[in-house]
Structure 1
Amino acid sequence: MNRTSAWMFTLLLIALLTACGGNQNAANSSSSQASETLPVALTDTSISSKGDPKRGKERFGPCAACHTTSKEVLVGPGLAGLFSAKGPVLPKGVDYNGMLPNGKERSEANIAEWIRTGGTGRIGYMPEHKLTDQEMADLMAYLRTLK
């Protein structure tokens, strides 16, 4: 192999390795996003599976006085990401360590209980909301759509 051919072969090899490495990084990136494992409590959809997110969006109306459907914080946290591993965005200086304000883990059952009974957290007071089981299922189904 002459010098020109060797040089061309080396450049081709570098280009191929770079391209392969780029694809591997993209694959690793997407698999790391997909591998974001949820705590077991957040995988239970026993309430939301019985609900209709469209009706839940309507049911959310009164909640909008204190909560957004994005990550923007009002009086209470924005509820986007409520069912993600990281949880919703809380006001600066507030950290519930992935739990609810009452210290319970984030699960559909515990979130439903928090909505129904309310309580006081570091942010402020959450009033109680009397919802039927179907209304709660609809609301949970809607909250699960907020990313």
Structure 2
Amino acid sequence: MDTMSLSDRVWLGLALALLALGAGACAQGPADLSDTSISSRGSAAAGAKVFQDVGCAACHSAGREFLVGPGMAGMFSAEGPTLMPGVSYKGMLPNARPRTETNVAQWIRQGGQGMMGVMAPQPLDDQRMADLLAYLRTLE
């Protein structure tokens, strides 16, 4: 005879579901920072112009200096970009996704809320995004 009450079963089910979700997040592992599936189609020189023209430079430096948003140097390095003191995304983007080119492009296009403030969406076409990511890859 089963001695678990309905309430116990519900709690056990909830605990197992949360455990499975956590295991899935851990299994995701670190981002593949070497993936150049988007930037390989772009021009870093054209990307520097995109960085200026669409207003990225109003909030982000091309170095490690924190302005309104993080400095972009190191975006695709293990260290990552320079964040404001006290903020850590643990190697991820503000939306908790790994810093892959696909996820960075999505973050740029959609924008969102992070611990440092709001990132305005930038609806770049595929070529301008490839150029911008190619440029960001040159920043050290």
With the length of structure 1 as denominator, give the TM-score of the two structures: 0.73
Match of 1:91 in 2: 84
Q: Which blocks of at least 5 consecutive residues in structure 1 are unaligned? A: 1-38
Partner of 2:57: 64
Question: What CA distance in whole angstroms lies between the structure 1 residues aligned with 2:91 and 2:121?
Answer: 21
- 1:128 maps onto 2:134 in alignment: no
- Partner residue of 1:52? 43
1:140 has 2:133 as partner = yes
Q: Retained in 1: the 8 A contact 2:41–2:131?
A: yes
**Length-normalised TM-score, structure 2:** 0.76
Shift of 1:40: 5.1
Q: Percent identity?
A: 58
Q: CA RMSD in A?
A: 0.8
CA distance in 1, matches of 2:35, 2:91: 16
Structural mapping, 1:7-18, within 5 Å = none
Question: Does the aligned pair in 1 maintain the 2:63–2:139 contact within 8 Å?
Answer: yes
Give the 5 Å matches for 1:13-28: none
Q: CA deviation at 1:98?
A: 0.4
Structure 2, gaps ≥5 residues long: 1-29
In structure 1, distance between residues paired with 2:31 and 2:105: 17
Deviations 1:77-102 (A, max 9, x none): 00000011110110000000000000
Q: Residue 42 of structure 1: SS of its match in structure 2?
A: coil
Deviation readout 1:49-107 (Å, 9 max, x if unpaired) = 00000000000011001000010000100000001111011000000000000000000
Q: What displacement does 1:134 show? A: 0.2
Runs (4 or more) in structure 1 with deviation over 3 Å come to none
